[in-house]
A and B are shown apart, each in its own frame.
Chain A
Amino acid sequence: MMWEVPVGLENEAARLRRGDPAAFEALLERYQNRLYRYLLRMVREPATAEDLFQQTWLRVAEKIRSYNPQRSFEAWLFSVARNLAIDHLRRYKPESLDEPLATGETRADQLVGAGPTALEGVIVRERSSRLAATLGELPVIYREVLSLRFEEEMKLEEIAEVLGTPLSTVKTRLRRSLEQLRRRLEARGSASEWQV
């Protein structure tokens, strides 16, 4: 990507700062799927994700000058999207922000784990939609760190930049989010049939 190749970086960043429409169109093409996926994970409703998608790209065009070419472009792009998504959630769905308590647990977390083998069964047998649905139940800050790490495959440093938190916080959130996801999947698996 942009932060890997210095020569290409100069040209592309310069063209973007100049407002070259072709450069922006290339960006849109390159990142459209990933950005939409991330927004959908954040807000969970396709209509909202579409609206935020439009707003994000407009912001990118407006605020391109605030992008520092020394840093990762992807981190900047996703942080723009993230800010819009968080603003939206704060305004329209404050309850979904569901900040976890100090112990990292939420109210929904009083579930009994069934052990590692049960988890494997859930993953192996279920369709991905079960996993996606459970993912959607997690608090937003857990959902996003899982999405950025496993779907966007961002490095920890980039995720820290997107979230605006220190590296250690990212690690902690990653760990807790995986633990909570696993607990909920196991609870689901043990409470219902194996069919989807």
Chain B
Amino acid sequence: MKEHDKVRELLTLSAAGTLDSSEQQMVERHLAECAECARELEGWNALAGGLRRLPTPRPSAALVERTRTLMVKHLAAEAERRWDLGLLVFAVLFAWTLTLAGWPIARLLTSGAAAWLDMSFRQAWLGYAAYTAVGWVSAGVAAVILGLRHRTSRRMA
């Protein structure tokens, strides 16, 4: 009778279609001789069938439309952010390239074409360093001013 008990436990899962082949075979073998289990299985199958046939509630067209709009907006904002980041990275690299390439050119010009300025290496170096520093300081000042203006205009909107 032990098999009978085991099969009874498997009947629900059989109706759910989740038995593996060996379990399924054992159940089918048992059902051939046990009418009680066969009746029981019919009941479970009916329940499973009822569950499978439940009507599907549908989302309203308005909901789907709203969701689509939101999702697309979000994706567009994401793409925009990624693009902006790429642009920023490019701008930084560009600025650095200009700075680094500027030194040999400045040096060259002061020794070659602008030799009449008669600068020593040290003076040329200091001159270039000062030029770079002035650039960064003025940029910093401009950034602060513009950033403040930017923030107030954002707040007012």
Verify if B55 is at the interface (C-beta below 8 Å from A).
yes
- Roughly how many angstroms separate A185 CA and B64 CA in the complex, as a whole number? 34
Which of B39, B46, B53, B76 has the most CB atoms of chain A within a 10 A radius of its CB? Answer: B46
Q: Which positions 12-62 of chain A face chain B at CB distance < 8 Å? A: 19, 21, 24-25, 28, 32-33, 36-37, 40, 46, 50, 53-54, 57-58, 60-62
Which residues of B sit under 8 angstroms from A141, Cβ to Cβ? Answer: none
- Roughly how many angstroms separate A28 CA and B66 CA in the complex, as a whole number? 12
CB pair B64–A28 under 8 Å, yes or no, is yes
CB pair B13–A171 under 8 Å, yes or no, is yes
Which residues of B sit under 8 angstroms from A57, Cβ to Cβ? Answer: 67, 70-71
Which of A57, A60, A117 has the most CB atoms of chain B within a 10 A radius of its CB? Answer: A57
Q: Which of A61, A132, A156 is the one whose CB lies under 8 Å from B75?
A: A61
Query: A126: shortest Cβ distance to chain B, in Å?
Result: 9
CB pair A33–B56 under 8 Å, yes or no, is yes
CB pair B57–A146 under 8 Å, yes or no, is no
- Roughly how many angstroms separate A163 CA and B79 CA in the complex, as a whole number? 32
CB pair A116–B43 under 8 Å, yes or no, is yes
Q: Which positions 1-40 of chain B face chain A at CB distance < 8 Å? A: 9, 12-13, 15-16, 18, 39-40
Q: Which of A50, A58, A116, A132 is the one whose CB lies under 8 Å from B74?
A: A58
- Roughly how many angstroms separate A53 CA and B47 CA in the complex, as a whole number? 29
Q: Which of B47, B63, B74 is the one whose CB lies under 8 Å from A182?
A: B47
Query: A130: shortest Cβ distance to chain B, in Å?
Result: 10
Instruction: Assess A54 versus B70: contact at CB under 8 Å? Given A151-B51, A178-B47.
Output: yes
Query: A20: shortest Cβ distance to chain B, in Å?
Result: 8
Verify if A109 is at the interface (C-beta below 8 Å from B).
no
Classify chain B's interface size. Answer: 35 or more
Closest B residue, CB atoms, query A167: B18
Verify if B118 is at the interface (C-beta below 8 Å from A).
no
10 closest A-B pairs by beta carbon, nearest first, are A150-B51, A36-B59, A116-B43, A123-B46, A178-B12, A175-B12, A119-B43, A123-B50, A54-B67, A21-B72
Which residues of A sit under 8 angstroms from B82, Cβ to Cβ? Answer: 19
- Roughly how many angstroms separate A132 CA and B96 CA in the complex, as a whole number? 67
CB pair A131–B50 under 8 Å, yes or no, is yes
Query: A80: shortest Cβ distance to chain B, in Å?
Result: 13
Query: B119: shortest Cβ distance to chain A, in Å?
Result: 53
Verify if B78 is at the interface (C-beta below 8 Å from A).
yes
Verify if B58 is at the interface (C-beta below 8 Å from A).
yes
CB pair B75–A178 under 8 Å, yes or no, is no
Verify if B106 is at the interface (C-beta below 8 Å from A).
no
Q: Which positions 105-125 of chain A face chain B at CB distance < 8 Å? A: 116-117, 119-120, 123-124
Having A24-B75, A33-B58, A36-B58, one finds 10 other A-B pairs with CB under 8 Å, namely A21-B71, A21-B76, A33-B56, A33-B59, A40-B57, A116-B42, A119-B43, A151-B52, A174-B12, A178-B44
Interface string of A121-148 (1 = CB under 8 A from B): 0011000100110010000000000100
Closest B residue, CB atoms, query A182: B47
CB pair B72–A62 under 8 Å, yes or no, is no
